[in-house]
């Protein structure tokens, strides 16, 4: 009888660790390097480099770049790195889905095939992330401002979005290479 207690305890511990495992399986994010790199390349190949005349918006719309850790992330910071990346793509996705590109002069000259490729990759990244991202709100002001510009049919809105998504993908990959599988 006295042998029962430790055994029960052991079972309980096993159940607990199984639960921890299950919870972490659904909330920890994972991303592979090659998928993120390929997503970045599609975005880069969409069109010409960032147009000079769109720089005048820099004071009004700035990507909150301090959410990406400045130094090589350690293991616990890696989750933040992956979440930042996923959250920015997650917030960008509906903008691409819900808005038309402006026509006429100064329109967005993006390669339609590359754009489709990017959108497919963006979706794959969000699926591969395997974790639930609740919006932290760090990007809400930024995406509100970008969306406003896009809704005003200003091509610079799209160029800014493309430049900043490129930046977040590239910087996280380069600076935090070890956070990716």
CA angle (131, 121, 44) in 5-degree steps: 120
- Asked whether position 78 contacts ligand NAG by CB under 6 A, the answer is no
Using the rule CB under 6 A, is 74 a contact of ligand NAG?
yes
Q: Does 10 engage in binding with ligand NAG (CB under 6 A)?
A: no
Nearer to ligand NAG, 107 or 178 (CB): 178
Q: Binding-site residue total for ligand NAG (CB under 6 A)?
A: 10
Exposure string for 56-95, b = 16+ CB within 10 A, e = fewer: ebeeebebeeebbbeeebeeeebebbbbbbbbbbbbbeeb
Q: State the distance between the two ends of the chain, measured CA to CA, in whole angstroms.
A: 48
* Residue 135 CB neighbours (<10 A): 11
Residue 141 near ligand NAG by CB under 6 A: yes
Q: Which is nearer to ligand NAG, 65 or 111 (CB)?
A: 65
- Residue 73 CB, nearest distance to ligand NAG (Å)? 7
**Binding pattern for the stretch 27-66 against ligand NAG, x by CB under 6 A and - elsewhere:** ---------------------------------xxx----
- Tell which residue, 172, 53, 155, 50, has the closest CA to residue 107: 155
* Contacts with 90 (C-beta within 8 Å, 6 or more apart), sequence order: 126, 133, 135
Considering only residues 142-161, where is the footprint of ligand NAG by CB under 6 A?
A: 142, 145
CB 75, min distance to ligand NAG, A: 6
Q: Residues interacting with ligand NAG, by CB under 6 A? A: 60-62, 74-77, 141-142, 145
């Amino acid at each position: 009888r006295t042998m029962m207690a430790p055994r029960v305890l052991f079972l309980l511990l096993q159940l607990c660790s199984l639960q921890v495992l299950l919870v972490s399986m659904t909330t920890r994010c994972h991303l592979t390097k090659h998928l993120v790199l390929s997503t970045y390349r599609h975005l880069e190949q969409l069109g010409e480099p960032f147009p000079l005349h769109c720089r005048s918006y820099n004071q009004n719309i700035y990507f909150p770049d301090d959410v990406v850790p400045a130094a090589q992330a350690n293991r616990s910071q890696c989750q933040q790195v992956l979440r930042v990346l996923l959250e920015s793509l997650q917030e960008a996705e509906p903008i691409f889905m819900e808005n038309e590109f402006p026509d006429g002069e100064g329109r967005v000259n993006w390669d339609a095939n590359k754009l489709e490729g990017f959108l497919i990759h963006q979706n794959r990244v969000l699926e591969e992330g395997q974790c639930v991202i609740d919006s932290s709100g760090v990007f809400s002001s930024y995406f509100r401002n970008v969306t406003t510009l896009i809704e005003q049919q200003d091509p610079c809105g799209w160029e800014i979005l493309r430049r900043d998504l490129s930046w977040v993908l590239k910087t996280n990959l380069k600076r935090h290479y070890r956070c990716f599988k």
